[in-house]
Amino acid sequence: MKRTMKLLAVGSLLAASALYGSASTAACAGCHGQHFEKKAMGKSKVVKDMSKADIVAALKGYKAGTYGGAMKGIMAGQVKALSDADIEAIATTIKGGAGVPTDKATEHAAAAAVAAAAVIDINAKACDPKRIEKEDLGNKKEVDETVLGLRKTSLFQEDNVAPPAVKNDRPAPGAAQRFERAYVNAPPMIPHSVEGLLPITKDNNQCLGCHMPDVAKSMGATPIPATHFTNYRPETVLKNGELVKEGKVVGLKGDIGNVGDIKLAKKKKLNHLYQGRFNCSQCHAPQANVDTAVANTFKPDGLVGDLKAKSNLADMMDDGVQ
């Protein structure tokens, strides 16, 4: 069965994962360095060298849209949810003051806790055998119309037919518990809030600031895998007015449209993100807290051990290929 909806286990799991407060600087480290000693993305000032008043003014300015350079959109997303008090606390921390625990040890402990934490089984509720049994109409002698269809109510009444309310209240990046993969090498769902991060545009892809392999470790984020730095598509070129795919002419003078016997494309490792992977949210979806309308009987094969929390597609890609 195809999954049409995802849901997540809530409650104690989420409360337990709230490792960072809103005034933490943990989420800044990936771009600014652990001690704000770097030029974020090669563009910002070295923030540790700014005065406290200047930091406060900059952060408030990003929030109000009155401060910043070409990449101010990125910072606007970072400070959107911060109160004036949070901003003061952050500036104090950056300038070495007390207040918020952001020393290295705390950050590393938090990142380690995230990495070691068990993943949330996204399907626990939808795949509950008791629920599946209850919703399996084939095992019932009598079936009344209130269990048919998705509205779960009499066909003659229009009360209570609204879909369940959707709550988008996932914790901030760094404070979220990851979800179990839906099947082996499924794109992992986004476990953290995406407030201020979406939509991804040509000039503003904040996902990269934390997930690129060189910064991901210091952020406690899963690095973007090797598959996303590889072009698997057949090489297609125009040669003397002919379309040539992987060396085979498929254009006007060639065997039009017959590309079936083209050998598997040679994969090309790139030293940059493959552009077909730029729009992360095309495949990785943020999650909301909703129950599925129907139970789910899908059971993935081979989703055992660490495959529940990581992929091995780059290594498995050529499995069975001669």
Nearer to ligand HEC among residue 153 and residue 183 (C-beta): 183
When asked if residue 284 is in the footprint of ligand HEC (CB under 6 A), the reply is yes
Q: How many CB atoms lie within 10 A of CB 180?
A: 21
When asked if residue 308 is in the footprint of ligand HEC (CB under 6 A), the reply is no
Nearer to ligand HEC among residue 8 and residue 295 (C-beta): 8
When asked if residue 283 is in the footprint of ligand HEC (CB under 6 A), the reply is yes
CB of 177 to ligand HEC, least distance (A): 7
Nearer to ligand HEC among residue 106 and residue 279 (C-beta): 279
Taking CB under 6 A as the criterion, the residue among 8, 14, 74, 100 binding ligand HEC is: 74
When asked if residue 30 is in the footprint of ligand HEC (CB under 6 A), the reply is yes
Task: List the interface residues with ligand HEC, window 261-280 (CB under 6 A).
Answer: 273, 277-280
Taking CB under 6 A as the criterion, the residue among 7, 14, 59, 120 binding ligand HEC is: 59
Nearer to ligand HEC among residue 119 and residue 293 (C-beta): 119
When asked if residue 188 is in the footprint of ligand HEC (CB under 6 A), the reply is yes
CB of 33 to ligand HEC, least distance (A): 10
Distances, alpha carbon 304 to alpha carbons 111, 182, 183, 300, 301, in Å? 24, 11, 10, 10, 9
CB of 277 to ligand HEC, least distance (A): 4
CB of 201 closer than 8 Å to CB of 281? no
Task: List the interface residues with ligand HEC, window 190-249 (CB under 6 A).
Answer: 190-192, 194, 197-198, 206-211, 219-222, 224-225, 227-228
Q: Where does this chain bind ligand HEC (CB under 6 A)?
A: 25, 27-28, 30-32, 40-41, 43-45, 47, 55, 58-59, 68-72, 74-75, 78, 90, 114, 173-176, 178, 185, 187-188, 190-192, 194, 197-198, 206-211, 219-222, 224-225, 227-228, 273, 277-284, 310-311, 313
